[in-house]
Amino acid sequence: MSNSPEADPIPDEPPAHLKGDKVVVTSPLSITEACFCIPAVRALRNARPDATIAVLTPDSIAPLWQTVGGLNEIIEYPEEASAKAIFQILKAGTFEAESSLAWEDSNAAAALAKADVSQRLGYEIKSLSKRLTDQLPIDELLGPVEHRVRYYMGLIEKLGIEAYLTKSFETPSLPPRPNPIRIGLVPGSVLGPSYRWGVDRFRELGTTLLANHQVELIIVAYPGRAQEGNDLDHLFRGKVKNYANQFDLDGLLTALPHCTFLISNDGAVTHLAAHLGIPTVALFGPGDPVTTRPLGKHHLVLSQHLDCSPCNQQHCPLNHHRCMEELTVARVYQAARKFLQPQASPQA
């Protein structure tokens, strides 16, 4: 007879239920994390079609949330606003939340507590728990490392909502595909210098693409992060269009759908493109291609899989940067060619 402990019984009821029909969701502060959060908000909307749902977000990433269908209101606050200032914005507005969801401790979560929203749901995290009325445990990870999207979907599932449906991951409709093929080059990264492949390699790659294919190349960058794009433009000597300085976030979100695909370092632009349904050749170095790969099956993620990676450091702690230095132009070019084949549907 086995002496093994009995397994926990399967619960008949989810740990919590949304009690109100007016729900405010706090956006993660990072735009990358906001991209990973969006499928969970879609799942909430799909499960509660009659609910009134608002997103409380820093104004710096509000344009991203404006591309998400089904939201009733987007409540913006200045990025550096205090909890008191955000509370005053909530108080002055017309949205009277009955329930709220928070994924991380933030001034927005503190403001919702100050506003005394009747039901405040979130994970049982030490710094966040004091802001909540309903604290939900984070499931212990026993198996392989999971993508960050599961962190957000997990909270939704604890509300008894079936999160992993196709429509939770649906992307906005795209305009007609450009002819000739238009490739966006993204030589920068908001994550730091060690996440960047190098403008010399981007120049060599672009030169090879232009010499062998009928394509148009453009340079794009996250707003305020144009340095690498401008450096690449200088190397190309006017042979490509440089939009690195031209777009705010709203403009970038409008421009990206007019690309056929991107070749991009791991960073915010990669995840914005994935959110919009634009395929990417994503170049991963110190970042983790398992936990933070772009969402969707139509991307090619390239990584060297070294013993020292992922380290998630802005600067290489070993001072060799092999994770990016050993990622060859030839390998990236071969990946890009898969998006240039007729009827190609490359799988990541």
**316, amino acid identity:** C
Q: What is the mean pLDDT of the chain?
A: 90
Q: For position 303, what pLDDT does the model report?
A: 87
Q: For position 344, what pLDDT does the model report?
A: 43
Output Rg (C-alpha) for the chain, integer angstroms. 22
Q: For position 156, what pLDDT does the model report?
A: 96
Backbone dihedral region for residue 321 (phi beyond 0: left; psi -120 to 50: alpha; all else: beta): left
Residues of the chain with pLDDT under 70: 1-12, 142-143, 306, 311, 342-348
In our burial notation (b when 16+ CB lie closer than 10 A, e otherwise), range 239-259 reads ebebbbeebebeebbeebbeb
Q: For position 323, what pLDDT does the model report?
A: 78
Q: For position 142, what pLDDT does the model report?
A: 66
Distance (Å, whole) CA 69 – CA 49: 12
- Domains in the chain and their CATH numbers? 22-162 (3.40.50.2000), 181-340 (3.40.50.2000)
The residues, any chain, with a CB within 8 Å of residue 325's CB and separated by 6 or more, are none
Contact 23, 53 (CB under 8 A): yes
- Can you give the pTM of this predicted structure? 0.91
Contact 281, 261 (CB under 8 A): yes
Q: For position 139, what pLDDT does the model report?
A: 83
Q: For position 58, what pLDDT does the model report?
A: 98
Contact 245, 226 (CB under 8 A): yes
Distance (Å, whole) CA 259 – CA 136: 41
Q: For position 304, what pLDDT does the model report?
A: 82
